[in-house]
């Protein structure tokens, strides 16, 4: 450390403006300062240095010393020259003895570095009054330098930190130690942001605290993306658990719903047993809905995508949506022009729309309006920064907007988690299943909301180059038939249920308990067999293997698979690649009859 004293000829050569830095002439000499300037913030550091030790320019103390000088004059840099006696320094009075030289250049570079740093730098006096902030501070907080100099950093306070937080901070600083931590602060415009900060005490020559310096980085975006990543991992773990239990539940529910359905059809409409059967069926259907939502959330449903026009889908759903919303809630649909085509499962898309409409209704118990809007959209890099894992490209957007009370950021963060309590009454898995359906369709969904300003859910589905296909349901009168159907199912109760339902619809039904028995029927029975209805996963011989044998033994036979397993399991068994129809368990008797009719009427694969 060098000595800085008038006796040795040491002095501050000057504080330079950008123009003065070019010419090398000082803007103002330290000894020419007026009394008012002497009292300006920051010059205390220089006063304390006179007659004392001067830090080396690139040491931490030297940078702090330099920052105090910056705070004093709002100049870009200052040159500190030490005149020392010695053969390589020259004697007092010799030419160049007072020139700024290399040290001045190095300090000038430090000034540029601090001014241009990406991290915010704040210097305060011992009482916490701000003496200097750099441009990064202005950019992060929205405050100009002249708005904060002379004030306390508490102008950024958000109220998110408690007294214990600040007590720990000041305990560190009072003990002469640096403090490191994260603040949640408030910008000038009122928005919150998170910043990592390192705050260090500044010490005078006698060891007393002369001020503090803070170096802070805005980590709001990093924290948000990390939270999105953790949330995605948490939801993925729950999804795997949900998908794992779905198959066993589906087989049980198939029997419960199916036999309750048969009882309803066979019992007298006015009898008590009929009402009991209907309640059993309703309970089974609610359980089936829950299982389906679990599969949707886990993104393991068997999807049968079609090329659709969202405008056509909404037009067909409008009467049902008005009924769902009720008389107290208005509905408007704004259809985008020249709307692109999306490839999605029609029934799953309808579930997305209905669930979002129900959520909007629950958000407006006193009534209001729901707006549905479609449009072509292109997601770019900006969307990828705001939302994790978003791929840029062309999409079709569906927006559902309500006039409800809106949500804060904390509520939005939990919105798609199962049973979070924020989805709405009776919708514990509703938004979770919507999230799963959209993700399985390679799309994205997010909510835009503020307290008191309603909520908009935006669904983005990939745009494809294809002509939309029309979806025509089988009329009620066409759900019967006279063809012969071979049913192969290893669960006896399900096998008997399907046999009884199809026989009641006029079909001739042959049954087998596994794949080998099915091959024997195909080989030995002389009658024509028009359709093979088989479970996918069975012991001895799986459904797809049986289907191959059936097509070889009975050319032209149609195939319909049924399964309660997830899409990944079905794909592993080779079903999806065959482009075959799937009857998803659990199902009602009407669903069985409809799917069988559709399979029989479908054109043969080329």
Retrieve residue 28's tokens: 């103002």
Instruction: Reply yes or no on whether the pLDDT at 546 is more than 90.
Output: yes
DSSP letter at 223? H
Q: What is the mean pLDDT of residues 492-503?
A: 89
The 3-state DSSP class for residue 55 equals coil
User: In terms of C-beta distances under 8 Å and separation of at least 24 residues, what long-range contacts does 468-471 make, across chains too?
Assistant: 468/307, 468/308, 468/309, 468/312, 468/341, 469/306, 469/307, 469/308, 471/306, 471/308, 471/346
Instruction: Reply yes or no on whether the pLDDT at 137 is more than 90.
Output: yes
**d(C-alpha 594, C-alpha 597), whole Å:** 5
Q: What is the mean pLDDT of residues 528-551?
A: 90
Instruction: Reply yes or no on whether the pLDDT at 38 is more than 70.
Output: no
Q: Which residues contact 426 (CB under 8 A, 6 or more apart)?
A: 362
At residue 230, the pLDDT reads: 76
> φ and ψ at 8, to 5 degrees?
-90, 0
Tens digits of residue pLDDT in 48-87: 443 344 444 434 444 444 554 444 333 333 333 333 333 3
Q: What is the mean pLDDT of residues 568-586?
A: 61
CATH 3.30.450.20 fits 120-218, yes or no: yes
Instruction: Reply yes or no on whether the pLDDT at 459 is more than 90.
Output: yes
At residue 470, the pLDDT reads: 59
Architecture of the structural domain at 306-464: 2-Layer Sandwich (3.30)
Instruction: Reply yes or no on whether the pLDDT at 14 is more than 90.
Output: no
Q: How many residues does the structure list for the chain?
A: 606
172 or 3: whose pLDDT is higher? 172
Describe the strand order of the beta sheet including 120-125 as a list of residue ranges: 130-133, 120-125, 209-218, 192-203, 179-186
Angle CA 426–432–435, to nearest 5: 140
The 3-state DSSP class for residue 39 equals coil
Instruction: Reply yes or no on whether the pLDDT at 277 is more than 90.
Output: no
At residue 176, the pLDDT reads: 85
Adjacent-strand bridge partners of 510: 486
Q: What is the mean pLDDT of residues 4-21?
A: 34
At residue 296, the pLDDT reads: 64
- Residue 403 binned pLDDT confidence (cut-offs 50, 70, 90): very high
**d(C-alpha 411, C-alpha 449), whole Å:** 10
* 214-218, 275-279, 576-580: range with highest mean pLDDT: 214-218
**d(C-alpha 397, C-alpha 443), whole Å:** 10
- Residue 19 binned pLDDT confidence (cut-offs 50, 70, 90): very low
Q: Which residues contact 6 (CB under 8 A, 6 or more apart)?
A: 50, 51
462 or 387: whose pLDDT is higher? 462
Q: What is the mean pLDDT of residues 128-134?
A: 90
Q: In this structure, are strands 508-512 and 455-464 parallel, antiparallel, or unpaired?
A: unpaired
Q: What is the mean pLDDT of residues 539-554?
A: 90
Q: Does residue 52 come out as left (phi exceeding 0), alpha (psi in the -120 to 50 range) or beta? A: beta
At residue 10, the pLDDT reads: 30
**d(C-alpha 375, C-alpha 387), whole Å:** 20
**d(C-alpha 20, C-alpha 78), whole Å:** 10
Retrieve residue 281's tokens: 């069926």
**In contact, 431 and 413? CB cutoff 8 Å:** no
434 or 98: whose pLDDT is higher? 434
> φ and ψ at 2, to 5 degrees?
-85, 160
Q: What is the mean pLDDT of residues 267-280?
A: 84
Q: What is the mean pLDDT of residues 510-528?
A: 93
Instruction: Reply yes or no on whether the pLDDT at 322 is more than 60.
Output: yes
333 or 282: whose pLDDT is higher? 333
Neighbours of 189 (CB within 10 A): 7
The sign of the CA dihedral 284, 285, 288, 289 is negative
Tens digits of residue pLDDT in 283-294: 888 787 777 766
565 or 234: whose pLDDT is higher? 234
Among 6-20, 239-253, 373-387, the range scoring the smallest mean pLDDT is 6-20
| CATH (residue range 476-601) | 3.40.50.2300
Instruction: Reply yes or no on whether the pLDDT at 37 is more than 80.
Output: no
Instruction: Reply yes or no on whether the pLDDT at 512 is more than 80.
Output: yes
Retrieve residue 160's tokens: 């998110």
**In contact, 415 and 447? CB cutoff 8 Å:** yes
At residue 355, the pLDDT reads: 87
The whole-chain average pLDDT of the chain stands at: 76
Half-sphere exposure of 513 (CA within 13 A, CB side): 3
Instruction: Reply yes or no on whether the pLDDT at 356 is more than 70.
Output: yes
CA 54 to chain centroid, in Å, comes to 52
At residue 22, the pLDDT reads: 42
Instruction: Reply yes or no on whether the pLDDT at 486 is more than 90.
Output: yes
* 43-47, 195-199, 224-228, 412-416: range with highest mean pLDDT: 195-199
Instruction: Reply yes or no on whether the pLDDT at 409 is more than 70.
Output: yes
> φ and ψ at 322, to 5 degrees?
-65, -35
């Amino acid at each position: 450390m060098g000595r800085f004293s008038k006796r040795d000829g040491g002095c501050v050569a000057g504080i330079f403006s950008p123009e003065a830095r070019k010419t090398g002439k000082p803007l103002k000499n330290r000894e020419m300062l007026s009394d008012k300037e002497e009292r300006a913030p920051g010059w205390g550091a220089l006063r304390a240095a006179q007659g004392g030790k001067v830090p080396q320019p690139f040491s931490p103390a030297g940078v702090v010393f330099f920052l105090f000088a910056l705070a004093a004059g709002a100049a870009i840099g200052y040159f500190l020259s030490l005149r020392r006696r010695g053969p390589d320094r020259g004697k007092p009075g010799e030419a160049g003895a007072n020139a700024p030289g290399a040290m001045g250049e190095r300090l000038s570079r430090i000034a540029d570095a601090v001014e241009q740093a990406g991290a915010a730098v704040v210097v305060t006096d011992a009482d916490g009054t701000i003496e200097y902030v750099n441009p990064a501070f202005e950019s992060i907080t929205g405050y100009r330098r002249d708005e904060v100099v002379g004030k306390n950093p508490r102008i950024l306070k958000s109220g998110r930190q408690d007294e214990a937080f600040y007590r720990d901070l000041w305990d560190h600083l009072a003990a002469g130690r640096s403090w490191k931590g994260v603040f949640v602060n408030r910008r000038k415009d009122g928005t919150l942001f998170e910043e990592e900060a390192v705050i260090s005490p500044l010490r005078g020559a006698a060891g007393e605290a002369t001020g503090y310096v803070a170096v802070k980085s805005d980590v709001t975006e990093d924290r948000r993306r990390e939270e999105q990543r953790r949330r995605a991992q948490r939801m993925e773990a729950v999804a795997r658990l949900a998908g794992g239990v779905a198959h066993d539940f589906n087989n049980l529910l198939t029997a419960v719903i199916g036999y309750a359905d048969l009882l309803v059809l066979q019992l007298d409409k006015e009898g008590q047993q009929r009402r009991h059967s209907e309640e059993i069926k309703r309970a089974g259907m609610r359980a089936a809905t829950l299982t389906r939502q679990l599969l949707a959330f886990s993104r393991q449903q068997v999807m049968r995508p079609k090329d659709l026009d969202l405008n056509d889908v909404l037009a067909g759903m409008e009467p049902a949506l008005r009924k769902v919303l009720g008389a107290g809630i208005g509905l408007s649909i704004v259809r985008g022009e020249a709307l692109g085509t999306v490839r999605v499962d029609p029934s799953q898309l309808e579930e997305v729309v209905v669930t979002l409409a129900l959520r909007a209704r629950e958000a407006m118990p006193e009534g209001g309006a729901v707006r549905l809007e479609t449009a072509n959209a292109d997601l770019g890099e900006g969307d990828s920064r705001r939302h994790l894992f978003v791929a840029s490209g062309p999409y079709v957007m569906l927006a559902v907007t309500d006039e409800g009370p809106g949500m804060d950021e904390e509520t939005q963060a939990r919105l798609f988690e199962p049973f979070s309590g924020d989805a709405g009454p009776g919708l514990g898995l509703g938004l979770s299943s919507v999230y799963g359906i959209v993700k399985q369709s390679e799309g994205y969904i997010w909510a835009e909301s503020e307290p008191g300003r309603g909520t908009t859910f935006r669904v983005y589905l990939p745009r494809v180059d294809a002509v939309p296909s029309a979806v025509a349901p089988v009329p009620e009168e066409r759900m019967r038939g006279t063809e012969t159907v071979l049913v192969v199912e290893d669960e006896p109760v399900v096998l008997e249920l399907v046999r009884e339902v199809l026989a009641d619809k006029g079909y001739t039904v042959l049954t087998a308990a596994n794949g080998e028995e099915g091959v024997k029927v195909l080989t030995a029975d002389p009658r024509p067999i028009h359709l093979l209805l088989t479970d996918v996963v069975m012991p001895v011989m799986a459904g797809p293997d049986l289907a191959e044998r059936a097509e070889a033994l009975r050319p032209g036979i149609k195939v319909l698979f049924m399964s309660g397993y997830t899409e990944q399991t079905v794909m592993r068994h080779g079903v999806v690649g065959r482009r075959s129809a799937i009857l998803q368990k659990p199902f009602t008797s009407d669903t069985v009859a409809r799917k069988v009719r559709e399979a029989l009427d479908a054109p043969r694969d080329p």
